[in-house]
Amino acid sequence: MVFAPEVYQKRRNLFAKKMKEGVLILPSNPESIMSNDVHYPYRQNSNILYFSGFKEPNTVLVLEKSNDNVKFTMFVPPHDPKFEIWNGRRQGVDGAKKNFFADEAFSIESFSEKLLEIIADQNVLYYTFGINPEIDQLILNSKSKLKEKRKQFPLEIIDPEPMIHEMRLIKQPEEIEIMKKGSEISIHAHLNAIKMTRPGMYEYEIDAIYEYEFKRHGAKRAAYPSIVGSGKNAVILHYIENNDRLEDGDLLLVDAGCEYNDYAIDITRTWPINGKFSDEQKKIYEIVLTVQNECIDKCVSGIKFGDLHNYCVKRITEELIKLNLLSGDIDEIIENEGYKRFFMHGLGHNLGIDTHDVSTIPLKERILKPGMVVTIEPGIYIPDEPDIPESYRGIGVRIEDDILITETGNLNLTEKLPKSIKEIEKLVGSAHSATSVL
Ligand code: GLY
Ligand code: MN
Ligand code: MN
**Residue 150 and residue 202 share a domain:** no
Q: What is the pLDDT of residue 281?
A: 98
**Residue 410 and residue 303 share a domain:** yes
Ligand 1 atom nearest the C-alpha of 257 is 1
167, 195, 213 — which closes off a domain?
167
Q: Is 356 a catalytic residue?
A: yes
151, 167, 183 — which closes off a domain?
167
Ligand 1 atom nearest the C-alpha of 266 is 1
Domain that holds residue 213: 170-437
Q: What is the pLDDT of residue 435?
A: 47
Nearest CA to ligand 1 atom 4: 266
pLDDT (tens, 9 = 90+) of the chain, 438 residues, equals 899 999 999 999 999 999 999 999 999 999 999 999 999 999 999 999 999 999 999 999 999 999 889 999 999 999 999 999 998 899 999 999 999 999 999 999 999 999 999 999 899 999 999 999 999 999 999 999 999 999 999 999 999 999 999 999 999 999 999 999 999 999 999 999 999 999 999 999 999 999 999 999 999 999 999 999 999 999 999 999 999 999 999 999 999 999 999 999 999 999 999 999 999 999 999 999 999 999 999 999 999 999 999 999 999 999 999 999 999 999 999 999 999 999 999 999 999 999 999 999 999 999 999 999 999 999 999 999 999 999 999 999 999 999 999 999 999 999 999 999 999 999 999 997 644 455
123, 146, 167 — which closes off a domain?
167
Question: The CATH number of the domain where 217 resides is what?
Answer: 3.90.230.10
**Residue 300 and residue 177 share a domain:** yes
Q: What is the pLDDT of residue 433?
A: 61
**Residue 107 and residue 206 share a domain:** no
Which residues does a 6 A CB cutoff place in the pocket of ligand 1?
A: 224, 255, 266, 349, 355, 377, 400
Sign, CA dihedral 410-293-184-374, equals positive
**Residue 230 and residue 132 share a domain:** no
Q: Which ligand is nearest to the CA of 403?
A: 3
Q: What is the pLDDT of residue 65?
A: 97
Question: How many whole angstroms from 65 Cα to the centroid of ligand 1?
Answer: 38
Beta pairing class for 69-76 and 104-107: parallel
What DSSP string runs through 262-330? TEE--EEEEEETTS---HHHHHHHHHHHHHHHHHHHH--TT-BHHHHHHHHHHHHHHHHHHTTSS-S-H
**Residue 252 and residue 103 share a domain:** no
Q: What is the pLDDT of residue 366?
A: 96
Question: How many whole angstroms from 352 Cα to the centroid of ligand 2?
Answer: 13
**Residue 203 and residue 133 share a domain:** no
**Residue 196 and residue 313 share a domain:** yes
**Residue 52 and residue 163 share a domain:** yes
**Residue 245 and residue 211 share a domain:** yes
Strand intervals (E) in 53-152: 60-66, 69-76, 104-107, 124-126
Question: The CATH number of the domain where 161 resides is what?
Answer: 3.40.350.10
Q: Is 188 a catalytic residue?
A: no
Question: How many whole angstroms from 375 Cα to the centroid of ligand 3?
Answer: 6
**Residue 201 and residue 133 share a domain:** no
Q: Is 165 a catalytic residue?
A: no
Quote the pTM value.
Answer: 0.96
**Residue 140 and residue 79 share a domain:** yes
Q: Is 381 a catalytic residue?
A: yes
Q: How many domains does the chain have?
A: 2
